Amino acid sequence: MGMDEFQAVLKARELVRKVNPTAIPLPVELYAKEVGAVIRPQADMGPDEAGSCFEMNGKRFICTNANDRPERQRFTVCHEIAHLWLGLPSQHESLLWWSYAKRPLAEILCDVFAAELLLPYNLFQPEVERASIGLSSIDDLAERFQASVTATGSRYAAVVSEPVAFVLSEQGKVRYASRSKPLKDAPAWIPPRLDIPEGSLAKKVRAGTSFESRDAVDADVWFNDWERGGTLLEEARHLPQWDQTLSLLWFENGEVPGRKFRDERGAVYAEEENEDDALLKELDGQLRWPGKRRRR
């Protein structure tokens, strides 16, 4: 197929620049017009059908399931626009629209593309930075942008400036994890297809032993081969109708713990800041305050 997620994002941003949306929520009809497509809601689609696109007599059509919630139909429009704009074949057959298990790469790329259209960086990122970290903020942003909570949570973690991860698990296994740049740089890796880890709040929520809440967990519960230590705050929510579990993870002080090293005797030392670097920071005129994010 010759396309990866990064290329799909660049193509989506190219379309966003052409349309140049300025209103929230984004008018998806403008995207459809740019690709020369007519949107046709259809009431005769089954509950497991989200939509499709096709060309007939030189015209492009995007069909959505009129029985779906408005935010779902908006995502479907953008997903089908991705098929048209990227030239990727549709692989919807025998695929539940809500399921992330065994999802073909073409469909994943179209989902990524759709999220970029619905939650474009220039409008979404400033709203993320003004919000407190938490699932309630993601709920609010999803409502304002008329996007799904899962799409909004994924984009939230991708654009936020603090070390945050949003994890979607299905049937007890991690399906994807969206991480902010500080976590990618660390690197904090959450492998796909991993069982929801023992000791996580997500595990308890899915098992029904805990309601949606906030908990503190060791960072190495979630991050693979993590040796920096530190404690994460975790919020989790289980969606029983799809057996999906959403997790939001972040370091409360807004900083990733420094690396740790062992000397020849096995003693552990934390990474220390270079004195010259510290002096440069003091002289650059920029005030740095710990915990910039508003807390709850």
pLDDT in tens, 173-191: 999 899 999 999 999 999 9
The CATH number of residue 234's host domain is 3.30.450
Q: Residue 104: inside a domain, yes or no?
A: yes
User: Which of 118, 153, 179 is the last residue before a domain boundary?
Assistant: 118
Distance CA 262, CA 103 (A): 42
Instruction: Give me the residue label for tokens 């539940």.
Output: 96
Confidence check: pLDDT of 127 > 80? yes
More confident residue, 167 or 49: 167
Q: Residue 191: inside a domain, yes or no?
A: yes
More confident residue, 248 or 90: 248
- Angle 47-52-57 from CA coordinates, rounded to 5°: 140
Asked if 75 and 101 sit in the same domain, the reply is yes
Enumerate long-range contacts of 84-88, CB under 8 Å, 24 or more apart: 84/35, 84/37, 84/53, 84/60, 85/11, 85/12, 85/15, 85/35, 85/113, 86/3, 86/8, 86/11, 86/110, 86/113, 88/1, 88/3
Q: Residue 269: inside a domain, yes or no?
A: no
What would the two tokens of residue 221 be? Answer: 């519960």
**Which range has the worst mean pLDDT, 166-170, 180-184, 201-205, 283-287?**
283-287
Distance CA 125, CA 135 (A): 16
pLDDT confidence tier of residue 260, bands split at 50, 70 and 90:
low
pLDDT of residue 283: 41
Q: Residue 18: inside a domain, yes or no?
A: yes
To the nearest whole percent, how much of the chain has pLDDT over 70? 82
Instruction: Give the mean pLDDT of 85-99.
Output: 67
Cβ within 8 Å of residue 206, ≥6 positions away: 169, 172, 196, 238, 243, 245
Question: Amino acid letter at 35?
Answer: V
Confidence check: pLDDT of 266 > 80? no
Confidence check: pLDDT of 220 > 50? yes
- Angle 157-173-104 from CA coordinates, rounded to 5°: 75
pLDDT of residue 284: 39
Asked if 18 and 126 sit in the same domain, the reply is no
Asked if 168 and 101 sit in the same domain, the reply is no
37 three-class SS: strand
pLDDT of residue 286: 40
Instruction: Give the mean pLDDT of 247-271.
Output: 75
User: Which of 88, 103, 118 is the last residue before a domain boundary?
Assistant: 118
Confidence check: pLDDT of 285 > 80? no
Asked if 103 and 126 sit in the same domain, the reply is no
Asked if 53 and 155 sit in the same domain, the reply is no
More confident residue, 89 or 273: 89
Full domain range(s) for residue 77: 5-118
Asked if 13 and 80 sit in the same domain, the reply is yes
pLDDT of residue 291: 45
Confidence check: pLDDT of 56 > 50? yes
Confidence check: pLDDT of 113 > 90? yes
More confident residue, 274 or 229: 229
Ramachandran category for residue 277: left, alpha or beta (phi over 0 → left; psi -120 to 50 → alpha) = alpha
pLDDT confidence tier of residue 275, bands split at 50, 70 and 90:
very low
Q: Residue 110: inside a domain, yes or no?
A: yes
User: What integer best gives the mean pLDDT of the chain?
Assistant: 85
CB atoms within 10 A of CB 241: 7
Confidence check: pLDDT of 199 > 50? yes
Asked if 108 and 140 sit in the same domain, the reply is no
pLDDT of residue 163: 97
pLDDT of residue 264: 58
What would the two tokens of residue 243 be? Answer: 């057996």
Q: Residue 141: inside a domain, yes or no?
A: yes
Question: Amino acid letter at 182?
Answer: P
Distance CA 94, CA 81 (A): 21
**Are the CB atoms for 64 and 44 separated by under 8 Å?**
no
Distance CA 286, CA 183 (A): 23
Asked if 91 and 134 sit in the same domain, the reply is no
**Are the CB atoms for 130 and 29 separated by under 8 Å?**
no
Instruction: Give the mean pLDDT of 186-207.
Output: 94
Count: domains in the chain: 2
Asked if 232 and 125 sit in the same domain, the reply is yes
Instruction: Give the mean pLDDT of 39-62.
Output: 88
Instruction: Give the mean pLDDT of 240-258.
Output: 92
Asked if 163 and 227 sit in the same domain, the reply is yes
Q: Residue 213: inside a domain, yes or no?
A: yes
290 three-class SS: coil
Enumerate long-range contacts of 48-55, CB under 8 Å, 24 or more apart: 48/96, 48/97, 49/92, 49/97, 50/76, 50/79, 50/92, 50/97, 51/76, 51/77, 51/79, 51/80, 52/80, 52/90, 52/92, 53/80, 53/81, 53/83, 53/84, 53/90
Instruction: Give the mean pLDDT of 151-175.
Output: 95
User: Which of 118, 151, 173 is the last residue before a domain boundary?
Assistant: 118
Strand partners, 239: 244
Confidence check: pLDDT of 76 > 80? yes
Q: Residue 261: inside a domain, yes or no?
A: no
Asked if 113 and 132 sit in the same domain, the reply is no
Asked if 110 and 136 sit in the same domain, the reply is no
What would the two tokens of residue 203 be? Answer: 């595990």
The CATH number of residue 89's host domain is 1.10.10
